[in-house]
């Protein structure tokens, strides 16, 4: 039973399209995140939600819009996709700030914009 | 701004050949330093949190240590299944308690 599941695993789309990535966790965690990992393996936080409330919003273009319908779900919608958006996007969850038990990551969504 | 630098970028070891990975950091108030393991095509997997200088933690063949400026991940007698990318991250004590990751060390253990 997967703890943090993301769909889809692969996404290939053309520039200018709009796409969504879904994430669900069944761990009972109260905080969820979106991270972007670029081609050099650098993981950078994009958003963080605690109990459905946005608490971290890094300098991400407003084409990216997260939505958390409940504590177990955090989706990411991307408008007007650009070539530079190509990366692996990871959803993660934690208890509180992840200090003691770390994040639990999903397996990632590889987005390729052509 | 918080920074995490890991070295080497890649490391190739023979099975049984012990070594260390380095993580140097600068952070505005350290709440915790994390080590994660990432296998190809998967998300990072949490290994340890270290909270203060002098602390050590162990898990199987892995031992993590922490000083005020760096952390080491020692791998004793590695096996091929230890091959992965090891990521270091720091969490600051600011309002958002932001976590900053390094770019990792890719470890390959050859039988």
Contact list, B31 vs chain A (CB under 8 Å): 97, 99
pLDDT at B57: 97
Tens-digit pLDDT profile for residues B80-93: 999 999 999 999 88
Cβ of A55 under 8 Å from any chain B Cβ?
yes
Tens-digit pLDDT profile for residues A19-28: 999 999 999 9
Domain CATH for A52 = 2.60.40.10
In Å, how far is B42's CA from the nearest CA of chain A? 5
Phi, psi of A84 (to 5 degrees): -70, -10
pLDDT at B8: 97
Neighbours of B16 (CB within 10 A): 11
Tens-digit pLDDT profile for residues B38-78: 999 999 999 999 999 999 999 999 999 999 999 999 999 99
Q: What is the percent of chain A where pLDDT is above 90?
A: 78
Range of the domain at B48: 3-110
Residue A100 has pLDDT above 90, yes or no: no
Range of the domain at A15: 4-113
Contact list, B91 vs chain A (CB under 8 Å): 97-99
- Establish, for the pair of chains A and B, how many residue pairs have beta carbons separated by less than 8 Å: 57
Q: Are strands A109-113 and A19-25 parallel, antiparallel or unpaired?
A: unpaired
Q: Do B101 and A107 touch (CB under 8 A)?
A: no
C-alpha A108/C-alpha A29 separation (Å) is 18
The domain total for chain A is: 1
Contact list, B43 vs chain A (CB under 8 Å): 4, 90, 92, 105-108
pLDDT band at A31 (very low <50, low <70, confident <90, very high): very high
Domain CATH for B24 = 2.60.40.10
List the single residue in A44, A55, A102 with the smallest CB-CB distance to B46: A102
Q: Do B103 and A41 touch (CB under 8 A)?
A: yes
Q: What is the mean pLDDT of chain B?
A: 95
pLDDT band at A112 (very low <50, low <70, confident <90, very high): very high
Q: What is the CA angle B87-B103-A38, rounded to 5? A: 115
Contact list, A102 vs chain B (CB under 8 Å): 34, 36, 46-47, 49
The domain total for chain B is: 1
């Amino acid at each position: 039973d997967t703890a943090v599941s993301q769909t889809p695993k692969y996404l290939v789309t053309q520039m200018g399209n709009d796409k969504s990535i879904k994430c669900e966790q069944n761990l009972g965690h109260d905080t969820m995140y979106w991270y972007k990992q670029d081609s050099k393996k650098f993981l950078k936080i994009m958003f963080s939600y605690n109990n459905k409330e946005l608490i971290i919003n890094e300098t991400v273009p407003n084409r990216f819009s997260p939505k958390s319908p409940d504590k177990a779900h955090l989706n990411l919608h991307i408008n007007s996709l650009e070539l530079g958006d190509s990366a692996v996007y990871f959803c993660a969850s934690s208890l509180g700030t992840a200090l003691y038990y770390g994040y639990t990551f999903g397996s990632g969504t590889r987005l390729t914009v052509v | 701004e918080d920074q995490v630098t890991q070295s080497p970028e890649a490391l190739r070891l023979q099975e049984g050949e012990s070594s260390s990975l380095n993580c140097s950091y600068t952070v505005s108030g350290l709440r915790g330093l994390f080590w994660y393991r990432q296998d190809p095509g998967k998300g990072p997997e949490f290994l340890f949190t270290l909270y203060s200088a002098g602390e050590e933690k162990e898990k199987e063949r892995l031992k993590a240590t922490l000083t005020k400026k760096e952390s080491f991940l020692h791998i004793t007698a590695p096996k091929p299944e230890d091959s992965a990318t090891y990521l270091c991250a720091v969490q600051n004590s600011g309002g958002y308690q932001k976590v900053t990751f390094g770019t990792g060390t890719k470890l390959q253990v050859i039988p």
